[in-house]
Amino acid sequence: RLLGAVDELLLGSGGHLYGLTRPRYEQADTAARAVLGEERFAALLSRLESQRLLGLAVDALDGGKLRLTNRQSARLLEAHRDAMCTCLRLEATLLDVGARLSADGVSYRVIKGPSAAHLDYRNPSLRPFGDIDLMVGSAELDKAKQVLEAMGFRRDGPQETIHASVL
């Protein structure tokens, strides 16, 4: 459904996202349905946020492939700005955590969110993220927990996961 809603807004030949294309018989009316009403846009914006697709939507808007009203464009850009502010706070936290873990001899790898944003996208702003995931070897897990807890992070639940609120 999300791809269909975004695809509905795409202009040009065939309307595509992630290499998926719309069947030819549906292509003719794409331009006629190019702008969503406010209620449908609000639902779409919520989905874009929850699926971490705001960056791709902004990129489509900038490239002229997404048609929105001025108000909708402003709301999309504001949501993306907020997401990028969260990403910057998380990356600053990651730098602090990484320095501390390294200083204490703990090897770690950053997985998902920021690593995907910086390694898999031409521009990291295309891939918002809302948390930091670190992978630590089992032999260093206790040491990593001690370091993170000393920094103010806390365990959340019975799993081997430590969470922190940085927002």
For residue range 5-20, what is the model confidence (pLDDT) as tens digits? 444 444 433 444 433 3
- Give the mean pLDDT of the chain: 81
Q: How far is residue 27's CA from residue 14's CA, in Å, rounded to a whole number?
A: 5
Q: DSSP labels for 56-99?
A: HHHHHHHTT-B---HHHHHHHHHHHHHHHHHHHHHHHHHHHHHH
Report which of 7, 33, 1 is spatially closest to residue 19, judged by C-alpha positions.
7
Q: Is the pLDDT of residue 55 over 60?
A: yes
How much is the pTM? 0.73
Reply yes or no on whether the pLDDT at 158 is more than 80.
Answer: no
Rg of the chain over all Cα atoms, to the nearest angstrom:
20
Q: Would the pLDDT of 85 be above 70?
A: yes
- pLDDT recorded at residue 136: 93
Half-sphere exposure of residue 117: CA atoms within 13 angstroms, side-chain side: 24
